[in-house]
């Protein structure tokens, strides 16, 4: 979302070393314009941020492949989008290996410390849980980068980190989004000495147009490249993170109740990034691949698509109802598969989808929709049952808050490899705690667990467990080769954003740029459907007449759902990279070459 001060990704200058610790630079000329759509050959990338897109593109131009570029882009987003991504967070990669013609996934989701119990968050106000050491999960990003590069990349981590190091040292121009996000977090950032010194220089958010530098993060990345992942997973950096979690650097005189965390160095040593089979559903002759549990993205997007395929027609009403039903099942059945028996095969089966589709009629279902029974025993729809709600499962807990931020990138290379990568530290600004001297914000991923009491909930905390996620990086194949790749940030609205983009593109005949830009609505088995203003203005009367209730999207940023990025593979080897034209300040799409 910003313009790096020095455009080239060459050698670091003396001025970069002598720069003051954070911003302290004059207002610069207007940054280079971002483009939300680019078409060309030889590889492409789309992220929310121009500097991150350039970092990934530079790796492609150096001969790196899509996985190399994805890691480079993610590390750069840890500099320019530090409130959404970073090495102390986690994420999910869905990857198409062109040589093997195979889709795989890499799970870098954070884990709970071994000392965490199912009641760890009971009775704690959500906001207090967020800004605490208790919310910090064992970071997964570095292990994920290492696994991704060793198994599918072509370059070592130290090389993939170079673009991010240069951006951190030389700085980037602060835009309105970065300023606003800092301002929204200023009160809690001010309560931690390390965070305030980095993000509130002089006691205020860096002004728009100033240059923000993070030399501590540059040094951390450089040492990580030299020392390797073990420096974090049991080494000196890991000990610094644990010390910060167990004793957050709270400002003297602060009145905030900051709880200490449970993480130990042994939790870091035990962490592993996991390669998992993707979810897969057939939809209208295409194969849609997504992220399996502990993410609910692939299962929920996939189930909703199967429900839609079982219906005689697909419109916005059907999109909202299919999403409602898929979320009812997500909440009932999906959690970390190491701890919960997730009936994934049945959730994505034709039989279950047809049974659930029986409940969708001409009017919106009564709230709440009950979860189905993915037990493998399915009967045809009785003629009289179309549109008849199933029996309620009783009280449904209020939808748990999930961080609206996160970020997503997509990359493809000259060989046809494709990476769709969701990266996150959870809330905007994570836990709010910067590791002193390291320039990295700690995540608050453990607040993705259900707080309880909720007996039988598949997403209660447990030692070593991965909290359920909504991240939904998605790759669509046609006849065994990539057609689309898409994903978005947005907490639980990630699922509906990805689903709506797919429906827009595959069912409503929109181009991918149109599908990404179109106004959005999100139904997650709640009494009211959240809708962007343009969606409500255009479709509100029609949907209200069918029994739907639309409500505004809470902020910040108010009125926006998601910030997607995507790729589409066109004819004759041409690829189209797509980012948001306006949401979250607009994104950046780049290609290696506009010509063959």
Assess whether pLDDT exceeds 60 at residue 451. yes
pLDDT at 453: 87
> Would you give the DSSP letter of residue 399?
P
- Other beta carbons within 10 angstroms of residue 29's beta carbon come to 8
Q: How many domains does the chain have?
A: 1
194 lies in a domain?
A: yes
- By C-alpha distance, which of 139, 155, 170, 183 is closest to 60? 155
pLDDT at 405: 72
Q: What is the DSSP string of 474-524?
A: EEEEETTEEEEEEE--STTHHHHHHHHHHHHHHTS---HHHHHHS--EE-S
Tokens for 541? 């009367």
225 lies in a domain?
A: yes
Please indicate whether residue 406 is annotated as part of the active site: yes
Assess whether pLDDT exceeds 70 at residue 393. no
Bridge partners of 279?
A: 290
Sequence-ordered list of residues with C-beta below 8 angstroms from that of 556, at least 6 positions apart, any chain: 180, 181, 184, 428
Assess whether pLDDT exceeds 50 at residue 152. yes
Assess whether pLDDT exceeds 60 at residue 4. no
Whether 55 and 9 have beta carbons less than 8 Å apart is answered as yes
Which of 105, 111, 131, 406 is flagged as catalytic? Answer: 406
pTM for the full model? Answer: 0.93
27 lies in a domain?
A: no
Assess whether pLDDT exceeds 50 at residue 276. yes
Annotated binding site for L-glutamate: 109, 448, 469-470, 491
40 lies in a domain?
A: yes
- For residue 365, is it left (φ>0), alpha (ψ between -120 and 50) or beta? beta
Work out the average pLDDT over 274-285: 98
Work out the average pLDDT over 116-134: 95
- Residue 199 is part of which domain span? 35-274+406-489+563-593
Provide the percentage of residues in the chain whose pLDDT is more than 70. Answer: 91
323 lies in a domain?
A: no
13 lies in a domain?
A: no
Assess whether pLDDT exceeds 60 at residue 11. no
- Surface-to-core class of residue 464, CB atoms within 10 Å of its CB (0-12 exposed, 13-18 middle, 19+ buried): middle
255 lies in a domain?
A: yes
CA angle (369, 399, 321) in 5-degree steps = 35
3 lies in a domain?
A: no
Work out the average pLDDT over 127-131: 96
């Amino acid at each position: 979302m910003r313009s790096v001060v020095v455009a080239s990704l060459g050698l670091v200058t003396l001025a970069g070393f002598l720069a003051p610790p954070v911003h302290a630079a004059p207002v610069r000329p207007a940054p280079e314009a971002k483009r939300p759509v680019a078409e060309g050959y030889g590889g492409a990338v789309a992220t929310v941020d121009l500097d991150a897109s350039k970092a990934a593109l530079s790796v492609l131009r150096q001969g790196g492949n899509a996985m190399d570029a994805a890691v480079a882009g993610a590390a750069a987003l840890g500099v320019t989008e530090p409130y959404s991504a970073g090495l102390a967070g986690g994420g999910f990669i869905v990857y198409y290996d062109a040589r093997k013609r195979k889709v795989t996934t890499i799970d870098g989701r954070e884990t709970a410390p071994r000392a965490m119990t199912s009641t760890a968050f009971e009775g704690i106000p959500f906001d207090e849980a967020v800004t605490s050491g208790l919310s910090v999960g064992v970071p997964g990003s570095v292990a994920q980068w290492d696994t991704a590069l060793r198994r599918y990349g072509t370059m070592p981590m130290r090389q993939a980190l170079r673009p991010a190091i240069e951006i951190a040292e030389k700085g980037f121009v602060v835009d309105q989004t970065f300023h606003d996000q800092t301002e929204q977090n200023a009160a809690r950032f001010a309560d931690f000495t390390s965070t305030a010194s980095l993000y509130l220089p002089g006691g205020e958010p860096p002004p728009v147009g100033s240059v923000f530098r993070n030399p501590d993060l540059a040094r951390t990345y450089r040492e990580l490249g030299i020392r390797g992942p073990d420096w974090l997973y049991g080494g000196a950096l890991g000990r610094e993170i644990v010390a910060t979690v167990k004793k957050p650097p709270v400002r003297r005189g602060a009145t905030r109740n900051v709880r200490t965390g449970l993480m130990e160095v042994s939790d870091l040593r035990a962490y592993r990034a996991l390669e998992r089979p993707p979810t897969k559903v057939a939809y209208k002759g295409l194969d849609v691949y997504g992220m399996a549990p502990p993410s609910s993205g692939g299962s929920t997007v996939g189930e909703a698509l199967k429900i839609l395929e079982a219906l005689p027609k697909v419109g916005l009403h059907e999109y909202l109802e299919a999403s409602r039903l898929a979320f009812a099942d997500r909440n009932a059945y999906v959690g970390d598969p190491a701890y919960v028996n997730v009936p994934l095969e049945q959730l994505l089966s034709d039989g279950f989808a047809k049974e659930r589709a029986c409940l969708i009629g001409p009017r919106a279902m009564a709230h709440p929709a009950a979860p189905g029974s993915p037990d493998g025993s399915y009967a045809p729809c009785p003629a009289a049952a179309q549109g008849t709600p199933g029996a309620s499962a009783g009280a449904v807990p209020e939808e748990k808050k999930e961080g609206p931020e996160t970020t997503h990138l997509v990359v493809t290379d000259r060989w046809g490899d494709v990476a769709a990568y969701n990266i996150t530290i959870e809330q905007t600004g994570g836990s709010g705690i910067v590791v002193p001297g390291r320039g990295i914000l700690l995540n608050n991923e453990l607040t993705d667990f259900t707080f309880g009491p909720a007996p039988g909930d598949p997403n209660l905390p447990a030692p070593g467990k991965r909290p359920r996620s909504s991240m939904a990086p998605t790759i669509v194949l046609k006849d065994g080769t990539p057609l689309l790749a898409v994903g978005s940030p947005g907490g639980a609205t990630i699922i509906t954003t990805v689903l709506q983009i797919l429906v827009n593109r595959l069912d409503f005949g929109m181009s991918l740029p149109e599908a990404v830009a179109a106004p959005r609505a999100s139904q997650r088995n709640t009494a009211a459907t959240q809708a962007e203003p343009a969606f409500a203005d255009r479709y509100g009367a029609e949907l209200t007449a069918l029994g739907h209730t639309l409500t505004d999207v809470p902020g910040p940023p108010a009125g926006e759902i998601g910030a997607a990025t995507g790729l589409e593979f066109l004819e004759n080897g041409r690829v189209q990279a797509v980012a948001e034209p306006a949401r979250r300040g607009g994104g950046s799409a780049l290609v290696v070459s506009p010509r063959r």
